[in-house]
Structure formats: structure tokens, C-alpha cells
Amino acid sequence: MSSIQAKTYVSNPSQKLAFIGLGVMGYPMAAHLLASGHQVTVYNRTAAKATQWMDEFGANPNAHVAATPSQAAHGADIVFTCVGNDEDLKAVILGESGALAGMHPGSVLVDHTTASAQIARELFLVCQRHQIAFIDAPVSGGQAGAQNGQLTVMCGGNESDFLRIQPVAQAYSKAITLMGASGSGQLTKMVNQICIAGLVQALSEAIAFGMKAGLEMNTVLEVIGKGAAQSWQLDNRGKTMVQDQFDFGFAVDWMRKDLGIVLAEAHRNGARLPVTALVDQFYADVQHMGGHRFDTSSLIKRLQ
């Protein structure tokens, strides 16, 4: 039996939904929507993943699978996407059998991919021409947050459209906030990734320093975690870094993709990101060490 359960505060009229992209994030997010009483049709480019999802949740009569994004989106009130990057988004939304081809005027497209602000604005305009609403809505909280329905969702778009999707997206979120016009959700996610990059590097240096100094680092982390050095990264990754364990969700390859988006946006807007650019190269070092699928806390391996 699945561990996904409907969250008690989610109480919405059942809607017809589509979810396109069943990766480590989309898979449980779609399940939360189903558990909340909605009709959910899923699509994944690797069909085996959609089959797996149906094997797990198909006993629910509201669960369905489609062969193409357009078939999944046909008749849906809201279509959710969560794929890899800008090009993946274009393929599943704008392609010949993309989601847009199956959507009807008055429906809403919500994109949870971490992508560029530029593609968000482009999709907003394309959808607008088809009388379809678009919300860019990248998420933070990682695989555990998706599984537990505790994601933070950062949205860009029109307020009226946001208010339509907000109660539905609460199925998998602890906070969902409209940040501004189209693209603002993606820009906010970039701020998030800048913060994480700096925090993980600092934590890596601190732990490596403490171990070289001969300190009992689990005790050190417990002590400093009660003071000004406390952070989510320290609380959730500090001890696993000490234990040389790096199999906790968000991978180095994906972080480098995100930081590439950040640095490209900074080049456009003139922001100076010297630490972020340096940490991006440190993640490249981890990749060269074979750590493509290590989680982001693996920065410490460069220092060991």
C-alpha cells in the first residue's frame, strides 16, 4: 500500500487533472492530487514509469494513464508539468502531441519544472493566445518534501489564475505563494538555489575543518545547530555528510542545471554572483569524481 495519504486540510471539489512528468518529484505529487479526491491522468515520456504509477495507484478509479501529453490534457481543468529543463518543457507542451494541443480555453497549465524565467514568459504568452492560463510554479523541499506533501511552491502569473490552482496544489505543499508576474516563480527559485549553494559549501568547509581538528562532529553539529549557525542543511544533511552518505534526493547533475540557469539569468540582469559561480565549479569537480547522482551535500568530498 502506498504511503501517500490525503492531507486533512485539503477539501476541494473534485477536478479533472493531468500530471505530465513522473520523476522523483512528480510521481508523489500526482499521487497526492489523486489522494485528495481529484481525477488524475498521468503521462511520462518513459512509459514504464507511468505503468509503475498505475500499478501503485490504479486501484483508485480516478487514476488514469495516457499515451501522449495531449491525451492526458484532454478535458482537464488543470494540467501540471514537472520535467527536466526548458527543452523538455517545449517538447511536452508545444510538440505536435504536446499538452497544449489537448487543452481547452479556460483551463490552466501549471509548470513545476525548475526552468528559466524566459521559457516561463514565453509559455505564458503562448497560452494566452489560446485562452489558457499559465502559472510557473517551481518547488523547493526535495524528494522528501514531495513524498510528504510539504513542498514550498513559488508562483508567477496572474492572481486570478493563481487563486484557482492554489487550493488544488495544497495537496502536496506546505506553502504556495504568488511572487509576481509570469517568470517570478522561476526567479524566486533561482534565489533559493543561490542560498543553498553557499550554505552547502560553508557547511562542507566547517565539517571538514572540524574533522581535521579532531572534533566529534556529531556533537559539534548538535551544539552549533542550537545557535546562529542553524540551517535546514545543517539539520538535515550535517550528520550524513559526516558519515559520508550522499544518497538523499536532489542530485549534483540537477543542481548544476539549476545553477546554470541562475548564472545565465545573472548575466542577463547584471547581478554579481562570485560565490555561486565558484560553487558551480566545485560541483563540476564532484561530477568529475563520479558523483553525478550524489546529493548536493557531496561538496564535502572535494575537501576530504
How much is the pLDDT for 248?
87
Active site residue 257: no
Measured between alpha carbons, how far is residue 82 from residues 52, 203, 214, 242 in Å?
17, 30, 44, 32
Q: What is the tens place of the pLDDT at every residue in 12-34?
A: 689 999 999 999 999 999 999 99
CA dist 271 and 273 (Å) reads 6
Q: Name the fold adopted by 188-303.
A: N-(1-d-carboxylethyl)-l-norvaline Dehydrogenase; domain 2 (1.10.1040)
Distance of CA 84 to the CA centre of its chain: 9
How much is the pLDDT for 1?
34
Q: Where do the domains of the chain lie?
A: 16-181, 188-303
Query: Span 16-181: which CATH code?
Result: 3.40.50.720
Q: What is the tens place of the pLDDT at every residue in 146-182?
A: 999 999 999 999 999 999 999 999 999 999 999 999 9
Instruction: Tell me: pLDDT of 54 over 50.
Output: yes
First-to-last C-alpha distance (Å) of the chain: 41
Kindly name the residue from 189, 212, 257, 301 that is annotated as catalytic.
189
